[in-house]
Structure 1
Amino acid sequence: MKVEGSAMGEKRKAVEGRKKYEQERIARRRGGGGGGGFGRPPRVRRVLAGSSSAAIQRLFEVCMAVFKGARTVPSPKDVQMLQLVLDKLKPEDVGLSTDLPFFKDRSTAKETPAITYTHIYNCDKFSMCIFFLPPTAVIPLHNHPGMTVFSKLLLGTMHIKSYDWVDNYKTDKDPPSAQSRLAKIVENSDFTAPCETSILYPTTGGNIHTFRAITPCAVLDILGPPYSKEDDRDCTYYKDHLYADVAVGDSTANGSCDNSFRWLEEIETPKDLKMIGVEYRGPQILDG
């Protein structure tokens, strides 16, 4: 999911983060402490200043080591290292708590609910962002061109559906449009926090996915490298269509309906997609 970040804003937050880190370090020496928090997204808009967190700092440092920039994929060893750090990450490590009103709200919106996001960190090698989804909210089907993505469900329950492209196939059926390609379902399941980190790669693992919130939930996405229209890594949205009677490689559905295949048709950004950006004020990262 693509969201815009401000270079000046990131620089300002980095400076503020360093100041807060030093203040908290002095406080800890004196026996002091502090807690971090998020605002209500969108109802929990007021946010509390966050203290430094060893967990989020460790995550940042591992990301700096793992992601090498454009046109690179982390090694299996690096993937495992980052996955282990994320699997241990707790909501409170990024200033979240189930006590926030947002996570207690079980009401169903009559109109398309808005999705709130907050940037933790962004650079040319990777980005760290948390998405807050109220019940029934959907992040539409979209891709991650040339990216390796780690998704960590922090709180709540959501349904994840993901696809990979199928290139070696034979069919006598016409696609819905010239903007359609055949894809195969990789994941189509409910996930409830705490659960293992989901990982997708540039061409495998479910590079095209959609999230649907069952309860209020928060998910941390780490993208390496991040979206960049200038570098041909723009976000594309899709609509899926049912498909049957497909032959892929040497295998065939033998005339029966194989529900694991879909036509994915490229579409414009959905008009009802509502995204609200808020400033990250959870535990701070010390950069440099």
Structure 2
Amino acid sequence: MYCFTDTFTPADVGLKEENPIDDEGHGRVARCTQPITYLHIHECDGFTMCIFCFPTSSVIPLHDHPEMTVFSKVLYGSLHVKSYDWIEPTCIRESTEPGCPQVRLARLVMDKVFTAPCRTSVLYPKSGGNLHCFTAVSPCAVLDVLAPPYREDLGRKCTYYIDYPFSTSGNGAQISNGKEEDYAWLAETETPDDLYMQPGVYVGPPIQV
């Protein structure tokens, strides 16, 4: 399926392909503390368009896009994407251990690396990997179009999750389709304290949608 962002290059959005966020010469620990840069392009009632610029090893943790369709295009570099969809009908397990969270069963949709140039990936409200995590394999940039945008008063709130292997359920849970490694239990968590993101300034040309 063709998407209008498929042909986008870094130059089309005012970026230089050769590492705009220069993390050369930094150790791995130092790179992990560098912020992800958020570039706002456009927002209206129908959609949000933005760019995330990742230093090597930086992460946007597992999160959801409730009732939203999201187009993601890697503009340069390499990005690892791990994504899930909820199992329907809903399967929830209550922990018998004090202080342990309730978990919900999800199916693994994607666990792969995207390297530019590549096609746009698309996730839908209930399919395509609506819950996903981004990890930068190298310095990279991702153009995102979220339709409609996050809006908490309408129920479109971003929630973060921690994933646990299917085998961690000790109450005899079984699966009817696929392998155990294709499933995980997801628990809601607070916004991670180490999610380090800074606003940047979009300097590219206006984008016609």
**TM tier relative to shorter chain:** 0.7 to 0.9
- Using the size of structure 2 for normalisation, the TM-score is 0.86
C-alpha contact 1:246 1:258 (8 A) present in aligned 2? no
What amino acid maps onto 1:199 in structure 2?
A: V
C-alpha contact 1:164 1:206 (8 A) present in aligned 2? yes
What amino acid maps onto 1:162 in structure 2?
A: S
CA positional deviation for 1:87? 1.2
**Is it true that 1:272 corresponds to 2:201 in the alignment?**
no
Q: Which deviations, in whole Å up to 9, do the C-alpha atoms of 1:190-221 show, x marking residues without a partner?
A: 11011111100001110000000010000000
Partner of 1:203 in structure 2?
126
Matches of 2:177 and 2:147, distance apart in 1:
36
Higher relative CO (Cα under 8 Å, sequence separation at least 6) belongs to 2
**Is it true that 1:121 corresponds to 2:42 in the alignment?**
yes
Matches of 2:85 and 2:71, distance apart in 1:
16
CA positional deviation for 1:284? 2.3
C-alpha contact 1:169 1:247 (8 A) present in aligned 2? no
More helix by share: 1
Structure 1 alignment gaps of length 5 or more: 1-79
What amino acid maps onto 2:189 in structure 1?
A: I
Runs of 4+ aligned residues of structure 1 deviating over 6 Å after TM superposition are none
CA positional deviation for 1:230? 1.3
The secondary structure found in structure 2 opposite 1:93 is helix
What amino acid maps onto 2:154 in structure 1?
A: D
Matches of 2:19 and 2:107, distance apart in 1:
38
Partner of 2:105 in structure 1?
182
Cα 1:187–1:222 shift into 2, 3 Å: same
CA positional deviation for 1:134? 0.3
CA positional deviation for 1:170? 7.2
What amino acid maps onto 1:90 in structure 2?
A: T
**Is it true that 1:284 corresponds to 2:203 in the alignment?**
no
Q: How many residues align?
A: 200
CA positional deviation for 1:174? 5.0
CA positional deviation for 1:138? 0.2
Matches of 1:286 and 1:87, distance apart in 2:
14
**Is it true that 1:89 corresponds to 2:34 in the alignment?**
no
C-alpha contact 2:14 2:202 (8 A) present in aligned 1? no
Q: Which deviations, in whole Å up to 9, do the C-alpha atoms of 1:226-281 show, x marking residues without a partner?
A: 00011110100000111137434xx267xxx7111111000000011111011211
The secondary structure found in structure 2 opposite 1:88 is coil
More strand by share: 2
What amino acid maps onto 2:187 in structure 1?
A: E
Cα 1:98–1:109 shift into 2, 3 Å: farther
